[in-house]
A and B are shown apart, each in its own frame.
Chain A
Amino acid sequence: MSSLQLRNIEKNYGNYHALRGINLDVAPGEFIVMVGPSGCGKSTLLKSIAGLEPITSGTMIINGRDVTRAEPGERGIAMVFQSYALYPHMSVAENMGFGLRMAKRPKPEIDAAVARAAKILRLTDQLDKLPRQLSGGQRQRVAIGRAITRAPEVFLFDEPLSNLDAALRTQMRVELSTLHAELGATMVYVTHDQVEAMTMASRIVVLNQGRIEQVGSPLDLYRNPDNFFVAGFLGAPRMNFFEASVVALEEGWVRVSNPGAGVFSIALRPGARLEVGDTVKVGVRPEAFHLAEEDDGLAASVRLVEHLGRETIVYADATPLLSVGSDTGTSNVTIHLPDIVGLAAGASIRIAFDPDQAYLFGGPDDQTLSPPKASAI
């Protein structure tokens, strides 16, 4: 049985469709991360699951129970807010025990639940303090503790780490993953940070304009994005795109032409419909590029080099390789090299990519037309 089921969830604000036909099944113990650009509806969806936002139509089932019309407190969920939303006048212990107190549980039971949560989150020494006496990271843990004491079917997290500084964020990310493993609880987590998504999720849900674009494991989404949007959204630095036109079609292959990259072949997924003359988008991950010999690949000039220690990221202008949406005539190509490279801004280089590593997008919804790639693991 699923822990959480969403069936055709729709949410309209007047004429604005915030959520369109959301369907999702979450298995018990899964860590679902919802990502998407600002305004994609991920926070709205989370608040709808919590019952804080009414939905226009659709059904929500938590642990087999239809909660579509239920009050937030009766849904078996707990939520951790971006602002923490701790009750400022209550001590840490009162904050964590408030949900059970509202449920009229006996005091010893509340105390035991609070003590247990405090122990997990190393808050035992802070129980009598007020939220304003705590650091940002401690407040965050109190907010999580408040969720734990409620022992919910589903934990909801609304960008919980975005108010923390970088070092603390990395630490809390690891703690949250550990906590998830310890509790074995179902968690739904909203973030705009794809590193959080890639590292924490059992499955990632990519949302765009109120729709689910794709659901899958992090590596699966990274290796095999369903469409242009997902390919561009996941991965940092971002995938490189350029337009090309179809010059010939063969069985399982398509030959495309680009003014800078020349004519090359890319494998085609069975059933993909293309015709000669169609415009397609070719996507190449920064790490799929490599530096080429003098007479190979295409010319580019280095604009900026980022040395990350073991790796190097090169931002280069390649003329006339056109990126989609570029209006300058030149295009920005990002190249992620796995070693230290002695390059400086202004250097002329030649770059090349393996067509097997390239993606092809086309058709009305910019679907992926290249065949699935074998997963790395």
Chain B
Amino acid sequence: MSNVWRRHRGWITPAIFILPAIVLFGVVIVASSLQSVWISLHEWDGFGPMQWIGLGNYEELFADPQFYTSLKNNVIWLVIFMLAPPLGLGIALLVNQQIKGMRIVKSLFFVPLVLASVAVGVVFTWVYTPQFGLLALLFSAFGASAPALLSDENLVTFAVVFAALWPQIAFCMVLYLAGLNSLSEDLIGAGRVDGARGWNMLRHVVLPQLTQVSFIAIAITAIGALRSFDMISVMTQGGPFGSSSVLAYQMYEQSIFSYRFGYGAAIATILFLIMLVFIVWYLNRIMRAEDRSA
């Protein structure tokens, strides 16, 4: 017995440690993803028997104007969310200064991270409320009346994205603050001796040391934009008339409210494929970075 153990412990020990994660990941992620794909090939109301319809759900989806609205909104989310990493970096550089009272400012910027995104959504819904909201007060101070952002089908997505951007910027700021704290002091010193200041220092000495952080910030922001759901659910329920819906919300709506689990699963599968692009890019970068350091 002990002989067997001694001969195999080289792989048994790591296997035992990894096993819980593998089981959990297998059941919660891999198995349910595969099952989703399987369901997407069926007509199913969530209770009764599933009926095989092949690619029927996908054919319907690609002919559904709501799908393209959701897809377009996801693109809007993605593009505007990409402001979060540079803005987060800017704020991180600002609050990283050694100035008295900066710790309080830092904690203020940190606040949205502590709030549940549902709370952020509710707060912004109030801000946007015509006549009573903060925005309306702001507009009336200039003698104008605020647009009803959440009921304007052309502006509603931007209004929601703007609300969601706030915690995302805070998140990127925290990532960059951590990165700034691990900058090599000697390298900064070398840059100063070489006469690099301001933008040149940032561009040639600081930013190259933050590439890993930037890449994590961009990847997480992209995935955050694609899986956006909670803010839409709280602020608009996809409305008015589905004009602020995104793929994740459309999937939820179809499955839960319309009892079309097969159709919802098809949307989920398409969303997964889109995310896969970013995930593959992310993994590729991680593995290349590991190869380099090895």
Question: Which of A's residues lie within 8 Å of B, judged by CB?
Answer: 47, 50-52, 71-74, 77-79, 81-83, 85-90, 98-99, 102-103, 132, 146, 150
Contacts and interface: CB of A to CB of B under 8 A. Distances in A.
Contact of B204 (A74, A79, A82, A87): A87
Contacts, number: 65
Interface stretch (B20-28, B132-140, B194-202, B221-229): B194-202
Q: Which of A72, A74, A78, A79 has the most CB of B within 10 A?
A: A72
Given A83-B184, A83-B186, A85-B186, A99 B193 contact: yes
26 contacts: A50-B193, A52-B192, A52-B193, A71-B192, A72-B189, A72-B192, A73-B195, A79-B190, A81-B189, A82-B186, A83-B184, A83-B186, A85-B186, A85-B187, A87-B187, A87-B205, A88-B209, A89-B211, A90-B204, A98-B194, A98-B204, A99-B193, A99-B195, A102-B194, A132-B292, A146-B194
Given A87-B204, A88-B208, A89-B208, A73 B186 contact: no
A102 B195 contact: yes
Contacts of A99: 193-195
A85 B208 contact: no
B189 A50 contact: yes
A205 B62 CA distance: 80
Contacts of A150: 194
Contacts of B191: 87
B186 to A, nearest CB: 4
A78 B193 contact: yes
A43 to B, nearest CB: 11
A88 B205 CA distance: 9
Interface in B144-191: 184, 186-187, 189-191
A121 B292 CA distance: 27
B98 to A, nearest CB: 12
A50 B189 CA distance: 9
Contacts of A71: 192, 195, 197
A87 B190 contact: yes
Contacts of A77: 193
User: In terms of DSSP, what is the predominant structure of the interface of chain B?
Assistant: helix
A73 B193 contact: yes
A86 B191 CA distance: 10
A103 B195 contact: yes
Contacts of B205: 87
Which 6 pairs from chain A and chain B are nearest by CB?
A73-B195, A85-B186, A99-B194, A85-B190, A102-B195, A72-B192
Contacts of B204: 87, 90, 98
B198 to A, nearest CB: 11
A82 B187 CA distance: 11
Contacts of B209: 88
A98 B197 CA distance: 12
Nearest to A97: B194
Contact of A79 (B189, B196, B200, B211): B189
B183 to A, nearest CB: 11
Contacts of B190: 79, 81, 85-87, 146
Given A87-B205, A89-B208, A73 B187 contact: no
B196 A98 contact: yes
Nearest to A52: B189
Nearest to A53: B189
Nearest to B190: A85
A145 B143 CA distance: 65
A189 to B, nearest CB: 16
A51 B208 contact: no
Contacts of A73: 192-197
Contacts of B192: 51-52, 71-73
A338 B59 CA distance: 96
Q: Which of B193, B194, B196 has the most CB of A within 10 A?
A: B193
A113 B221 CA distance: 44
A216 B200 CA distance: 41
Nearest to A77: B193
Nearest to B196: A102
A51 B194 CA distance: 12
Contacts of A132: 292
Contacts of B200: 102
B97 to A, nearest CB: 16
A85 B189 contact: yes
Contacts of B292: 132
